[in-house]
Chain A
Amino acid sequence: MNTSLGYEPISTASFVYFLIAYVGGACLLIAGVAAADGFRKHGIRLATAIICLGVAVVVASLAMPGENPVIQLAVKAKEGGRTHLVMLMTGLFSGLISALGLLSVEQRWKRVLGPCLYVATILCLFAIVLRQRVSAYLEIPTATGSSGSMVQRSSVSGFRVELMAELSIAPTSIAVDSAGHVYVAGYAGIALQNGEVVQLVRNAATGTYEARSVAERLSRPHGIAFYAGDLYVSRAGQFAKANRGKIEQQDTGAVTRLQDLNGDGRYDYYTDIISGLPGAQTPDGLHQNNGIAFDKKGKLYVTVGAPTDHGPYSHPNAGTILKMDADGKNVAIFAKGLRNPFDLTFGPGGDLFCTDNDSDNDGQGDELNHVVEGKHYGFPYTSVKGIEVSGSQPPIARLTSAQGIVYAAKGSLPAGFDESLYVASYGDGHINQVKLVQKGNSYIAQTSFFASVPNIVDLAIGPESTVYACSHHDRKVYRIVPQ
């Protein structure tokens, strides 16, 4: 996935190809029979078939915006892979059979079948297009509507996925403090320009969880972590200044330490421990400093995205993982050459692992990296077509998309599930378990499905073998618990 948070519409291509193949096949047979058997005898059928073909092609053109479906079908259907070919052949045979039904005089029900299939396909196309058109208006930032029963939730056997809480914020990051309380950071406010951190508090009477705001006015919070009782938030903004004829994006990225001085459970004393990191700068506008984590010695690691989609960038800290003291002193570049490292965690032996939204030009998927001090992970050079740059670190795995990451230490989950990384894939809504097999200085990753949570961006592991997962688009927190 190229961007960290984006929405993918359903493709209409298969339906379009089916429809065209269907009416094309039917029309071919009817026209052929009409020409061979006498136009007068089949005149009405032929006229109907031609009108149906015309209507279908126009509908297909409308449903496949930006492309001429007939030309696409002629030159590019193969590129769509097996699905398109299957749809094409199914369409063609259905069309031929329907035409046979129309041409036969004896059995009336056969005549009804063809037109029904035709109308149904067109309705399907309309439904998809309508959904795409309407959803743009439904998904207004303030809406908190749920996907309800439409969402399929599943997991590997031995676990079940439960809805834990519905939020008013669109979550980006989740963390569990030392007392086992769950905190979620996310976009808030009418245009998502505010940023909030909420604590999930159990209502003793009803047993449900409610969100209580503990910090706000933190724009674009993309990572939270606890250290020594304080909350650290990685955040950024988007701001440009025209300077000497050039519009310049300002470096708005920062990590803020939040302290609760009066002990009311709400954070009231904010300190930027580091600032001046590249924010959500254009041209990409989405990459920024994301997930943060503390190691056992109390050093803070900060992921910093590069502001470009694939080209070079100038900020020295862009596309890196920074290492610093908990008070922001002694900042050093720990690793570089990342595109939009989204989250990081410490695995076996204190080794650092990160996800990187670095699906390169060939669309191989996002990266899971074993981060070694001083290494370069290839961006932007590995995303440039036609050049081969030697000396960069390859990822240990690629996933369709990779956002939040957490390591399940020994005993934190049932046997067979602990001592593994868990990676959230926003694109397909999967949590994948990644077992690590040591090989030399690095690891081989063995990836398997763990659970499915729609639009998942981040996950955390809490007490009692509970995995918490937050869903950005749905504004929900799920928990995955052993059955």
Chain B
Amino acid sequence: MRSLPRIVFGCVVACLLTGMVAICASATMFPLDSRRVDVGAGRNEFSKRCASCHTVSSDQATYGPSLQNIGLAAASRVDGVAAERYIFDSIVDPSAFRAPGTSGEMPKGLAGQLSAEQLGNLVAFLCEQGGKARYRAIMALPARPQASKDELRVNLNLASVEHGKQLFFGKAQCSSCHWLDGSPGAMLRAPELLNAGVFSRDALRQAIVDPSKHVAPAYVESTVLYDGMTVSGYRLPSKPDRVKLLSTDNTGALLPVSIKVNELEPLNANGDVVRTSTMSPMPVYKFAENADELEALLDFLLTIR
């Protein structure tokens, strides 16, 4: 009979040794660090799913709060909550925290659209904004909760959904700008609506009835005067000595136009050469007298997710 301490010692050593070797050996193939988290992919997720309301390139709030230095700010928002966890919780459950001085409501269920990996990448990208992503902390984030799905469950009527689909692709002409087929460049002309279904009915209704209430930064119309003609379109990134606009030609096709700043004619006494519109380029559709058309369109939009 060996003494009890020796047996306990043996068990502890056995567990430690086996566990360590197994984890170390598997880590040679699957490093548990930066290589498992892809900040670049997180950036793509951000521009696809978040950029219509949030910006990381300016400290001015657009529709949602600016996330320019969120990596730094998130660490100090709530005591005892690390930056990674704060950002993660804010995406998974938008009502968890409220940033100082903000109102409005971020749609629930965005996290449901993302795999755990995509969610981790997105958190990493946001942590990099003014801070540094700690990969281990991101790997340690909990799995996204499954229960939230039922909260979002909506009951719709097939006839109404089909009616809404007909409006979308037909009379209301939504599909001439909003593409639903995931084509490359689908977001150039108008926001992609592939996540429309995660927004609340009220938020979608407002966006249709009063599109100018909130215009996503990428779709603010700019106007310049060149050679006696006004040219308008969305502002595209360009060299400082040029203004680049995504305009449309006379057939309605998108047409990128690049003009030297010093060739532009001033639009007012201050010498401004670019005027930005506060109105949304989206026309306000006149729904038929009864409200069924609008509700049908909303029913259809809620199925897109």
Q: Which A residues fall within an 8 A CB radius of B? A: 20, 24, 27-37, 50, 53-58, 60-62, 67-71, 244-248, 283, 307-308, 311-314, 376, 378, 380-381, 384-392
Contact = CB atoms under 8 A, between A and B. Distances in A.
A385 B181 contact: no
A249 to B, nearest CB: 8
B158 A246 contact: no
Contact of A53 (B22, B154, B251): B22
B109 interface: yes
B14 A32 contact: yes
B157 A390 contact: yes
Interface string B150-166: 00111111110110010
A246 B183 contact: yes
Contacts of B2: 36-37
A244 B197 CA distance: 28
A67 B36 CA distance: 11
A61 B22 CA distance: 11
A196 to B, nearest CB: 32
Given A20-B22, A37-B2, A389-B303, 8 more contacts: A27-B14, A28-B15, A36-B6, A54-B24, A61-B25, A62-B29, A312-B303, A387-B305
A35 B10 contact: yes
A311 B156 contact: no
Contact of B162 (A33, A313, A376): A376
Interface in B24-71: 24-30, 32
A243 to B, nearest CB: 8
24 contacts: A28-B14, A35-B13, A36-B6, A36-B7, A50-B21, A53-B22, A54-B24, A57-B25, A58-B25, A58-B26, A61-B26, A311-B194, A311-B304, A313-B180, A314-B169, A314-B175, A314-B180, A380-B303, A385-B305, A387-B154, A387-B302, A387-B303, A390-B158, A391-B158
B161 A54 contact: no
B181 A387 contact: no
B11 A32 contact: yes
A388 B10 contact: no
Interface size class of B (residues with CB under 8 A): 35 or more
Contacts of A314: 169, 175, 180-181
B246 to A, nearest CB: 10
Interface of B: 2, 6-7, 9-15, 17-18, 21-30, 32, 109, 112, 149, 152-159, 161-162, 165, 169, 175, 179-185, 188, 194, 197, 251-254, 300, 302-305
Given A69-B26, A314-B169, A386 B254 contact: no
A30 B24 CA distance: 19
A103 B37 CA distance: 43
A20 B179 CA distance: 48
Nearest to B254: A245
B303 A57 contact: no
A388 B156 contact: yes
A114 to B, nearest CB: 16
A62 B6 CA distance: 37
Nearest to A70: B26
Contacts of B184: 247
Nearest to A246: B183
A35 B158 contact: no
Contacts of A30: 14
B5 to A, nearest CB: 9
Contacts of B254: 244-245
Contact of A386 (B13, B161, B305): B305
A385 B22 contact: no
A392 B303 CA distance: 14
A206 B237 CA distance: 74
Contacts of B304: 311-312, 384
Contacts of B197: 384, 386-387
A31 B305 contact: no
B178 to A, nearest CB: 11
Contacts of B18: 24, 27-28, 31, 53
Nearest to B180: A312
Contacts of B188: 245
B279 to A, nearest CB: 24
- Among A33, A50, A70, A388, max chain B CB count under 10 A is at A70
Given A61-B29, A386-B305, A32 B13 contact: yes
B185 A246 contact: yes
A381 B28 contact: no
Contacts of A307: 181
Contact of B157 (A28, A71, A246, A391): A391
A69 B28 CA distance: 12
A19 to B, nearest CB: 11
B161 to A, nearest CB: 6
Given A27-B18, A35-B9, A389 B153 contact: no
Nearest to B175: A314
A390 B21 contact: no
Contact of B25 (A54, A247, A386, A390): A54
Contacts of B14: 27-32, 35
Contacts of B185: 245-246
Q: Considering the complex of A and B, which 3 residue pairs feature the smallest CB-CB distances, nearest first?
A: A36-B10, A391-B158, A244-B253
A62 B188 CA distance: 41
B30 A68 contact: yes
Contact of B26 (A57, A248, A311, A392): A57
B189 to A, nearest CB: 8
Nearest to B249: A244
Contacts of A60: 26
B9 A36 contact: yes
Contacts of B32: 68
A36 B194 CA distance: 61
A307 B183 CA distance: 13
Contacts of A244: 251-254
- Among B112, B162, B251, max chain A CB count under 10 A is at B162
Nearest to B182: A283
